[in-house]
Chain A
Amino acid sequence: MSVQDVKFYQTGTFTVGNRLLLETERAVQANMRRTNSLNSGHRACQGCGEALGARYAIDAAMYATGNRVMAANATGCLEVFSTPYPETSWQIPWIHSLFGNAAAVASGMAAAMRVKGRKDVRVIAQGGDGGTTDIGFGCLSGMFERNDDVLYICYDNEAYMNTGVQRSSATPPAARTATTMAVGKHPGNVFGTGKNVPLIAMAHHIPFVATASVANLHDLEDKVTRAMAIEGARYIHIHVPCPLGWGSAPADTIKVARMAVESGLFPVFEAEYGEITARQTIRRRVPVEEYLKLQRRFAHLFGKTPDLVTIAHIQATADRNIRVFGLAP
């Protein structure tokens, strides 16, 4: 009898179709009883990667805990578009305190649950890259090093979008923002700056660190689900394109996110106790130009005379990621 390989993804997109999977392996979002943790009617922009990532992440967390989850949210787009009173979109207990303290507030919530013997209730902190990698970094590191029972989710759209697209320490080199203007000899954000918070999180030797992308929502759900089964400090860093800030088409959010992964610019991996345990290898590698060209924040690289030196510099970053994180198939 001849054997035929079953392809679990559709041609071209690499997206696994739910109908081909066992029910237990299907996406949380495919479930009829999905909770819509971040309900419709909120005020995010068209094509918002953060709204998409947040709904999938928190839905998965609700599913994994039997809806026993509460969240602390940093100031930022997610906080503003989801909640102006009395129009909250959140279906879970949710608190916004300040820009820089979401991790600490979550630590307090976890402490309250611990002291009250509510082991069933789990706590999530979430924020954008500004609230995570910059202003909230001290509280984040504190929560990590104490190994507090909190899952921190960073929705990384690579700049301060809520205040009007200013540079953060997650803004990539050459990107135009309101504070790294596309003018002068070296337009856009400077090279050799920024920080990799997933790697810094790993340096705290916490039980679980992962990166994820809205281009692979099943993987995102899976990581959140597994994170909710772990006690202690956990960190998931989700790459979420921002059409407004990046100057990409709202319809291209998933495409842009996928290009970031497939170019090697956003490595998708996971780590336990400081050691990388899995990575998403790149099945169809694309040159960085394909990713950059979709976004007006890099338009200054592609004028009449393309800035080949800068593009090569960015390509070298992608190549290095592929080498360092072992992303080649």
Chain B
Amino acid sequence: MLKQIEGSQAIAQAIALCRPEVICAYPITPQTHIVEGLGEMVKDGSLENCEFINVESEFAALSVAIGSSAAGARSYTATASQGILYMAEAVYNAAGLGLPIVMTIGNRAIGAPINIWNDHSDSMALRDAGWIQLYAETNQEAADLHIQAFRLAEELSCPVMVCVDGFILTHAYERIDIPTQKQVDDYLPPFVPVQILDVDDPVSMGAMVGPEAFMEVRYLQHHKQQRALALIPALAKEFRERFGRDSGGLLRTYHCEDAETIIVALGSVNGTIKEAVDEMRAAGKRVGSLSICSFRPFPLDEVRDALRRARRVVVLEKSLAVGIGGMLSEGVRNALSGISLKGHTVIAGLGGRAITQKALVDLLDSAARGELAHLNFLDLRWDVVKREINREQAVRRTGPLAENILRDLGTVADRIG
């Protein structure tokens, strides 16, 4: 059914249709509306057979989900930003135990300086924890990916993160097609665990493993994700057949076939990117874009195929791997093994800095002219940066860096995207 609805509410309704049995809630902007929505459904009785637990931290949120999942309940939680760092130990643990928990990340920057706006620093920080990571491009896809995520997680017994851009998606009102309960029930069978805490058949879970077997256990996590490379497109195909629309899959190309320049990105910024591609195509420029949905596992072969005929690739990243550049670029470079094209990394949109269509068009034009550096920072205010660097060279006790910059800027409102 079509509804004009906030992204978080659409996600909450999609999760409710998946019949979760345990939901752990801890507030952190911008994911909070999702668990609030679910909590209301549990409380008013519209979501039955579900325990909604207000926990005391994100570490507890995922720990409770670990316990409930190990005891055989379909388990869900959501977090963002500092929250995923606070639960980091449990993030690795859930994957190591092979528990099919689904967790939404309302992507948000990480402090310091504290910042509630969108970028991908949070989920990127836990990219190698053993979770599958899917990035939603639209709110429709965000809702749909959760339905696919439970199926994927439970088929593989592997946890799945659905990454949804904070505010840009979570707080945006759009027209979303919310599936029927029957559609979801037909797609997502009841949870049948591969391992369970059962008093009639006791097992010990999470015991110590020494050097004699640890590598094999780790390898099998990798093997699961390799299986996911086939399963993710298969589930997306089945989803299309049952629900009548494209959502998920490993990646999506846009005008890549004859493109000389291809821009690669994760998440909602692909909407703006497509607008930029349309504008440039209309002007006869051969550009295309590649939206990667599955960042873990990273679809190396599919990315290579998409980029094979291009002359250059521009990787747009909403997180900065300090000291090197970007993590999406690292994946793309891995994918380029065997083919030769020019690669650029563009760090953009950190802490909610707006990524505009004009900036993207200028960026791709400068790439085509061969003027783009290896590592770039989109719309970085160099004057502000240089002033602070000069200050640091002149004075020892410069004081808090972020405050200096904000004092230099004077007003801040016009800088928020």
CB proximity of A132 to chain B, nearest CB, Å: 15
A279 at the binding interface (Cβ < 8 Å): no
Q: Is B57 a contact of A93 with CB atoms below 8 Å?
A: no
> Hey, what's the 0/1 contact readout for B47-89 against A, CB within 8 Å counting as 1?
0011101111101100111111111110100000000000001
Find chain B residues with CB under 8 A from A67 CB: 199
Docked-complex contact B64 and A84, CB < 8 angstroms: no
A105: min CB distance to chain B, Å = 4
Q: Which residues of A contact B204 (CB under 8 A)?
A: 83, 85, 88, 90, 93-96
Q: A101 and B202: CB pair below 8 A? A: no
Interface size band for B? 35 or more
B residues within 8 Å of A by Cβ?
Answer: 21-22, 24, 49-51, 53-57, 59-60, 63-73, 75, 89-90, 93, 97, 197-199, 202-210, 213
Q: Which of B56, B57, B73, B205 contacts A96 (CB 8 A)?
A: B205
Task: Return chain B residues, CB-CB under 8 Å to A141.
Answer: 56
Tell me whether A142 and B203 are in contact (CB under 8 A): no
Distance in angstroms from B60 CB to nearest chain A CB is: 4
Q: Are B22 and A111 interface neighbours, CB within 8 A? A: yes
Instruction: State whether A108 touches B64 (Cβ < 8 A).
Output: yes
Of A83, A109, A111, chain B has the most CB atoms within 10 Å of the CB of A111
In angstroms, Cα B197 to Cα A13, docked, is 41
> For residue A80, which residues in chain B have a CB less than 8 angstroms away from its CB?
208
- With A70-B199, A83-B207, A88-B204 as known contacts, state yes or no: A97 contacts B49, CB within 8 Å: no
Give the shortest distance, in Å, between B71 (CB) and chain A (any CB): 4
The answer to whether B64 touches A105, judged by C-beta atoms less than 8 angstroms apart, is yes
Contact string against B for A residues 230-242, beta-carbon threshold 8 Å, 1 for contact and 0 otherwise:
0000000000000
Contacts of B213 in A (CB 8 A): 85
| Residue ID in chain A nearest B89 by CB atoms | A98
Contact (A101, B51) CB under 8 Å given A72-B67, A95-B67 = no
Cβ distance B49 to chain A, nearest Cβ, rounded Å: 6
19 other A-B residue contacts (CB within 8 Å) besides A92-B202, A146-B53? A83-B207, A85-B207, A85-B208, A91-B202, A93-B203, A95-B67, A98-B93, A104-B64, A105-B64, A107-B64, A108-B71, A109-B70, A109-B197, A112-B73, A138-B59, A138-B60, A142-B55, A142-B56, A146-B55
Pick from A114-122, A186-194, A252-260 the stretch touching chain B: A114-122
Interface residues on A, range: 35 or more
Candidates B21, B56, B89; contact of A112 at CB < 8 Å: B21
Contact at B67–A69, with CB atoms within 8 Å? no
Listed by A's residue number, 5 A-B pairs whose Cβ atoms lie within 8 Å are A90-B202, A92-B202, A101-B60, A101-B90, A112-B69
Is A93 a contact partner of B197 (Cβ separation < 8 A)? Answer: yes
DSSP majority for the A interface? mixed
Q: Which residues of chain A have C-beta atoms less than 8 A from B63's C-beta? A: 97-98, 101, 104-105, 108, 139
A249 to B25, CA, bound (A): 48
User: Which residues of B sit under 8 angstroms from A115, Cβ to Cβ?
Assistant: 21-22, 49-51, 68, 73
Do residues B66 and A93 form an inter-chain contact, with CB atoms below 8 A? no
B60 touches A104 (CB 8 A): yes
B205, chain A: closest CB distance, angstroms: 4
Query: Is A70 touching B73 in the complex (CB atoms < 8 A)?
Result: no
Contact partners of A109 in chain B: CB under 8 A: 67-68, 70-71, 197
B57 cross-chain contacts in A, Cβ below 8 A: 138-139, 142
Contacts of B202 in A (CB 8 A): 70, 90-94
Inter-chain CA distance A96–B89, complex, in Å, is 13
Chain B residues near A107: list those with CB within 8 A. Answer: 53, 55, 60, 64, 67
Q: Is the CB of A55 closer than 8 A to any CB of chain B? A: no
A141 and B22 alpha carbons, distance in the complex (Å): 20
